Amino acid sequence: MCLYTLVLDVFYRRGQVFFISLHQNASSNIYKEEKKMKKLLCLGLSMLFVFSLVGCGNDDSGDDKAFKVGIVQIVEHPSLDTIREATEKQLKTYDGKIEVLYENAGGDQSMLNTICQQFKEQDVDVIIAIATPSAQAAANFSDEIPVVFSAVSDPVGAGLVKDLEKLDGNITGTSDEIQVDLIMDLAIEMYPETKSVGFLYNSGEANSASNLDKLKAYAKDNNLSVVEGPFTNTSEIQASTQSLIDKADIIFAPNDNSVASAMDVVSSLTKDSKTPLFVGADSMVGDGGLATVGINYEELGKETGNMVIQILDGTSPSDIPVKVFKEDLNVYINTSVAEAIGFGSIDTLKENHKDVVEIK
Ligand code: TRP
């Protein structure tokens, strides 16, 4: 019961007592007084009643209502965590209350549906789905709940939207379209003798499968051969990495969520064998990859948050085109790894590229 109703109730009871006492004392000479008091009391009570309606109405009017946003993430690894933190930070700028519910699937794709189902039962207003596998699961709920996906490398290839600009569903988001050509150009610049590239990936991740197609196209144009190192379970990463070390000159691990969450295994094998490991994201360079050309994921996370705010403010997801992050790229290089595998000086690299970020 709202405060106003409570006050009204107390007033009303007091009024009754007052009337009773008036009636008890009723006599002809105070009859006029009584009538006047009754009128005043009625007026007071009606005013209170109106007040109570306005007051109670305010509680439900939306001014104080907290929106609920559910964040689903396939696994925790540094890049996805950076994205989520930047998104949440942006949501805090919203002029209103947002309650954030966060769940991650610990790398288990079968958990994603359960998490989204839970969000549905919790009546969330928007689902934010970080990375491709999460987005594919959340898309199945987009009939009822608006979905904003985040860092999906190939939203069309993953079947989330038909077109990045012309949307017709209850789903939109941000994309980190991996610049496979630029990463391979860098690899060839650093290792001009390269003849074969090993591609390490989880074949169950649509984002990695579409990067494999790009790599194959690049290899065809540049007389390289591609050796595939697929795995379906993280327990197989070690064996896949080892076989690529044995068969290829360099390895390319795209921004595959399973590889990103097992970089300790991959990087120690490649470092020990002095195999150059090119990767698909800055965080993977930080975790022991040799180099990449890529974006700043904080910006992407921030934009994801902005899209959610627009939707909470009433914009339809289909009126917000997918935003692809493929500009403002940096060259990220891990200088300790470069040294450990005997790459030598990175001075020439720094002369050739204006945006070199050194990570140790
Ligand atoms: N782009 C990935 C996807 O589509 C998600 C991702 C973002 C990622 N940053 C990454 C994966 C860094 C590995 C490493 O699912």
Tell me the CA–centroid distance for residue 98 and ligand 1, in Å.
26
In sequence order, the 6+-apart residues with CB closer than 8 A to the CB of 163 are 156
Nearest to 265, CA basis, from 254, 255, 277: 277
From 211, 255, 298, 303, give the residue whose CB has the most ligand 1 atoms within 8 Å, as the site to mutate: 255
Structure tokens belonging to residue 42: 């009625």
This prediction has a pTM of 0.82
pLDDT over 70 percentage in the chain: 82
Query: Atom 7 of ligand 1 has which residue's CA nearest to it?
Result: 151
CB of 132 shorter than 6 A to ligand 1: yes
- Asked if 75 and 166 sit in the same domain, the reply is yes
* Cα radius of gyration (the chain): 31
Beta partners for residue 278, in sequence order? 252, 291
Nearest to 118, CA basis, from 70, 84, 66: 70
| Per-residue pLDDT tens over the stretch 118-141 | 999 999 999 999 999 999 999 999
Q: What are phi and psi of 327, to 5 degrees?
A: -115, 180
Domain end position, chosen among 60, 76, 91: 60
Q: For residues 115 and 12, give the distance between their C-alpha atoms in angstroms, rounded to a whole number.
A: 49
Structure tokens belonging to residue 278: 């090119």
- Asked if 244 and 315 sit in the same domain, the reply is no
- Asked if 197 and 342 sit in the same domain, the reply is yes
How many domains does the chain divide into? 3
Residue 255 near residue 79 (C-beta atoms within 8 A): yes
Tell me the CA–centroid distance for residue 271 and ligand 1, in Å.
23
Q: Is residue 278 scored above 60 in pLDDT?
A: yes
| Per-residue pLDDT tens over the stretch 38-76 | 565 545 555 555 444 444 444 444 456 899 999 999 999
The pLDDT of residue 44 is 52
* AA letter at 186: L
| Per-residue pLDDT tens over the stretch 212-243 | 999 999 999 999 999 999 999 999 999 999 99
Q: From residue 224, how far is each of 192, 193, 262, 275, 280 by CA, in Å?
A: 11, 10, 27, 17, 19
Tell me the CA–centroid distance for residue 203 and ligand 1, in Å.
14
Q: For residues 209 and 31, give the distance between their C-alpha atoms in angstroms, rounded to a whole number.
A: 91
Q: Which atom of ligand 1 is nearest to the CA of 259?
A: 13
CB of 131 shorter than 6 A to ligand 1: yes
- Asked if 118 and 92 sit in the same domain, the reply is yes
- Asked if 55 and 122 sit in the same domain, the reply is no
Nearest to 115, CA basis, from 146, 141, 91: 141
CB of 152 shorter than 6 A to ligand 1: yes
pLDDT over 90 percentage in the chain: 81
Beta partners for residue 70, in sequence order? 101, 127
- Asked if 172 and 238 sit in the same domain, the reply is no
Q: Which range marks the domain in which residue 136 is found?
A: 66-176+297-324
The pLDDT of residue 4 is 42
- Asked if 242 and 346 sit in the same domain, the reply is yes
- Asked if 316 and 336 sit in the same domain, the reply is no
Q: Is residue 21 scored above 60 in pLDDT?
A: no
Tell me the CA–centroid distance for residue 285 and ligand 1, in Å.
13
Arithmetic mean of pLDDT, 170-189: 98
The beta-strand segments (E) located in 232-341 are: 250-253, 277-279, 291-294, 323-324, 330-334
| Sheet architecture: strand order including 277-279 | 225-231, 196-202, 250-253, 277-279, 291-294, 330-334, 356-359
pLDDT classification of 250: cutoffs 50, 70, 90: very high
- Asked if 233 and 201 sit in the same domain, the reply is yes
The pLDDT of residue 20 is 35
CB of 136 shorter than 6 A to ligand 1: no
Q: DSSP letter string over 262-278?
A: THHHHHHHHHHTT--EE
Residue 204 exposure: Cα atoms within 13 Å on the Cβ side = 14
| Sheet architecture: strand order including 171-175 | 97-104, 66-73, 126-130, 147-150, 171-175, 323-324
Q: Which atom of ligand 1 is nearest to the CA of 133?
A: 15
CATH number of residue 121's parent domain:
3.40.50.2300
- Asked if 342 and 208 sit in the same domain, the reply is yes
CB of 257 shorter than 6 A to ligand 1: yes
| Per-residue pLDDT tens over the stretch 317-346 | 999 999 999 999 999 999 999 999 999 899
CB of 174 shorter than 6 A to ligand 1: no
Tell me the CA–centroid distance for residue 151 and ligand 1, in Å.
6
Structure tokens belonging to residue 99: 């309650």
The pLDDT of residue 38 is 58
The pLDDT of residue 344 is 87
Q: Checking DSSP bridges between strand 196-202 and strand 291-294, what pairing results, if any?
A: unpaired
Four-residue CA torsion sign, 55, 56, 61, 62: positive
CB of 277 shorter than 6 A to ligand 1: no
**Helix, strand, coil percentages, rounded to 5, for the chain:** 50, 20, 30
Tell me the CA–centroid distance for residue 303 and ligand 1, in Å.
16
Tell me the CA–centroid distance for residue 63 and ligand 1, in Å.
37
- Asked if 241 and 340 sit in the same domain, the reply is yes
Domain end position, chosen among 43, 60, 77: 60
The pLDDT of residue 40 is 54
Q: Is residue 261 scored above 60 in pLDDT?
A: yes
Q: Which atom of ligand 1 is nearest to the CA of 152?
A: 4
| Per-residue pLDDT tens over the stretch 89-102 | 999 999 999 999 99
From 79, 83, 287, give the residue whose CB has the most ligand 1 atoms within 8 Å, as the site to mutate: 79
For the chain, what's the residue count?
360
Q: For residues 229 and 124, give the distance between their C-alpha atoms in angstroms, rounded to a whole number.
A: 39
Residue 103 near residue 79 (C-beta atoms within 8 A): no
In sequence order, the 6+-apart residues with CB closer than 8 A to the CB of 186 are 278, 291, 292, 293, 331
- Asked if 208 and 336 sit in the same domain, the reply is yes
The pLDDT of residue 7 is 39
Q: What is the DSSP letter of 107?
A: T
Tell me the CA–centroid distance for residue 257 and ligand 1, in Å.
6
Tell me the CA–centroid distance for residue 213 and ligand 1, in Å.
17
Q: Checking DSSP bridges between strand 291-294 and strand 330-334, what pairing results, if any?
A: antiparallel
